[in-house]
Amino acid sequence: MTDLHRYAKRRMAACAAACSMLVACAAPSSPEPARWPLAAQSAEAMAPFKAWPDPQWWKAWSLPELDALIERARAHAPTLVAAQARVRASQAALDRTQAGQGLQAGLTLETTRLRYSEVGAVPAALAGRQVWNNAVRLNLNWDLDWSGRQRAALEASFAALQSVRADAQAAQILLDTEVALAWFELARVRSLRVLTERIASIQARQVDIASQRIAAGLDRPDGLYTFQAALARSNADRADWVRLELRTVASLAELCGIAAADVPAGRAHWPKQAAPAVLDDLPASLLARRADLTAHRWRIEAAEGAVRQAHAAHLPDVNLAAFAGLLSLGLDRWVSLGARSYGVGPIISLPLFDAGARAAQQSEREAHRDALIADYHAALLRAVREVAQELEGLQALQGQREALQEAARTTNQLWQVSERRRQAGVVNVLPVLEAEISELQQQRLIIETEARQWQGRIGLVRALGGGFDDERSVVSLRSSVLEKR
């Protein structure tokens, strides 16, 4: 298959996935993830990708230094601390909403020294007297939720909690990939600095040999000037690499919450194995694992719950109330059978007229929901574009690396030829050194390409959600909260 055919196939697949996703998410009605299909793949087709990307995808590379940095970043990053605090706040809000669904009970105790008016509408026996007015009462109230308002509030709180959890997971995935990208950038910069130092040392030998040959009258000074200029450029490049290495170490230390001296910069390298091949025919359903898209969907569900709450405000509300207690005038008969008081009955609240306030509230919440749906569509298209770009970039880098490796083999053959000619006495050592520099420069291009491959792989993991799976937590939490109703 030609590159053009592969490119067209990927583009068509991305467009088809985007269209199917946009149709699927147009009218949210339930927080269940199954109601938000991203593509019509069967379970058999998804089976090979069920655990990809793995939630701890970086551990497959056997880089203990990177493992330690990511764990340290997870433990100390302020963004994750703030995200977990928001999760706890949302959980408390859900608990508060859930508590309002059950039976409410309260106990009131009142005792007041009261003087009755002599000219008021009071019995003659009490006019002008001072007595104790005493009451102790147990009040019970149960909202029957006939209008469904409480149910809608509970579902909205549940969806809000899930969206905050997904946001926290998105922050963690972003942090993991940022640390991994910084580590691979440090490995790239360090490798290129070492390579530049090797080139500079060879160029310094060229300058020395050229100076000796000029002193012996064997060469003209033109070649010496060329070697000196090349050495000066290499020294300047080395200074740039040192500066960039220090900056990368500082960025990595900031991400992990450690001192720059604690970053193992001297051991920075990428995995010994070659960069893994790009997976073909990735199912669009993998995008469902993106935590940011999951958060968008749950925010829509929360907004839908708020809309249902506003709609329920137009309906009658029925509560069941009961009380029992002791009421008396005077302390001497407070605790007696005659002071008993109790009652039970429904309380029906029927909204009649509010000058359009409830209708305006419902319109406001519907508009907010529609805006969230539009935001989700935009995020979905952005996710499809990010995955397509990462896949296309990795495909291009794979071909580029193969071409560079072929060029490196050719350059090595040139160096071998130059070395044999030097040993035969045909040429001096300068052409051999020049061929060695060419080979190292070719290695620099290979290092750059390999680094971009690993960084592109990390970018693809991020674009596909970093192994995030919302399904298990949603099912367990839903069964423990919503099914109690």
Sign for the CA dihedral angle at 206, 207, 213, 217 comes to: positive
Domain tally for the chain?
2
More confident residue, 38 or 356: 356
CA distances from 208 to 43, 190, 425, 436 (A): 69, 27, 20, 16
Q: Does 218 reside within a domain?
A: no
| % of the chain at pLDDT higher than 70 | 82
pLDDT at 18: 41
Mean pLDDT is lowest, of 17-21, 222-226, 230-234, 263-267, for 17-21
Distance of CA 461 to the CA centre of its chain: 12
Residue 89 maps to a domain: yes
The whole-number pLDDT of residue 391 equals 85
| Residue 215 resides in a domain | no
Residues 450, 343 share a domain: no
Give the domain range for residue 109: 102-144+316-350
pLDDT tens sequence across 76-87: 888 899 999 999
Residue with the bigger pLDDT between 301 and 329: it is 301
| Per-residue pLDDT tens over the stretch 17-40 | 443 443 333 333 333 333 333 433
CB neighbour list of residue 407: distance below 8 Å, 6 or more residues apart: 442, 445
CATH number, domain with residue 322? 2.20.200.10
Q: How many other CB atoms are there within 10 angstroms of residue 37's CB atom?
A: 16
Residue at which a domain ends, from 350, 372, 406: 350
What CATH number does the domain containing 477 carry?
A: 1.20.1600.10
What band does 121 get if pLDDT is binned at 50, 70 and 90? confident
- Mean pLDDT over 34-53 rounds to 41
pLDDT, position 45: 38
431: pLDDT strictly greater than 50: yes
In a domain, 459, yes or no: yes
According to the model, what pLDDT value does residue 66 have? 92
Give the tens place of pLDDT for each residue, 124-180. 777 788 888 888 889 988 888 888 888 899 999 999 999 999 999 999 999 999 999
Q: What is the pLDDT of residues 272-320, one digit of tens each?
A: 766 665 555 566 667 777 888 989 999 999 999 999 989 988 888 888 8
- Indicate if 334 and 455 belong to the same structural domain: no
User: Are residue 279 and residue 379 in the same domain, yes or no?
Assistant: yes
Asked, for residue 449, whether it belongs to a domain, the answer is: yes
Domain match, 166 and 131 both: no
* Nearest of 302, 438, 435 to residue 373 by alpha carbon: 302
